[in-house]
Structure 1
């Protein structure tokens, strides 16, 4: 866990003591430290201070959208907000489509997806047409896709209204191109990745306008 400080640092210290006591056979002290450490971690979660970071190495595999996002998708998820300035050309729109496919499968009960992205300056009408086709497709699953275009967006962020916030340095576009008949073309767990960083946050205070 990156950036541990305050309550997080205290929790880590107490839990390290617990492990040392446990290893040394001092089980009473270990139990007390485990309890204290868990209570401190719960305080971190309740305060919305949870933060985890991991690195996707250049050329690595095993980082499909299902692998990265499925652990955050549960029956409490009803709305997803995606901010990514580069859902523009063909492969980027396909990436967004693959991400949306995760949201139509139980246990998720998503009813609204909001996308904020940048307009394709070369062929905006093609971009708009392809995304509108996805709008119509999601309607069959009783999911509303709302799309807004802006030229001032720079950050990349995905917010789930069950509290999870995921920030990926490259947004959804972290897969390397591959041949159409090469391994990894269909199964993205087998597709090589560009180097990027994934930051995961949780806050019980995440706002949502979705109806349940």
Structure 2
């Protein structure tokens, strides 16, 4: 009976070669986006940098916008891997977990500043925030539910809604950061402030006013 091993090995080699070409096209594209901007980069630029035929590009990506989706998906995986630690901490209070989560997000963005700026702009212009699943919102909601289980977050709070709100302000801070040249660590400081405001609020409570008056 003939062995299936040669066929399996050949198939595995073909798949590895296909993945190698796909990675080559993608890495060439994002390098060009960082250098020339998304709008300033053409498919011909990408294929020339990747040293592949124009038709080869379309074997892997139907249009240039698909590279934005690829970037977003790879970024999501990287963020998810980084967040495994904050989400696995069982003994820390929810405020610390949220702070660590936002600090991780800031680190991911600041590590590739030029590319993050370029791709965030392209991501928004392509309407991706409206069509992609809100992964960060789901992470925030998960942390809030963990806080509710520990009686650290009001049980009546809609964790899904607040998770969406945290995602909204996170993206807002990210867009502001991407629009101007800031010092290293500034994004992390901004996101940390956002967490504090969400946890403590901005309204002065009567008891706080009375204490202030006495002081």
Using the size of structure 1 for normalisation, the TM-score is 0.25
Query: Which of the two has higher C-alpha Rg?
Result: 2
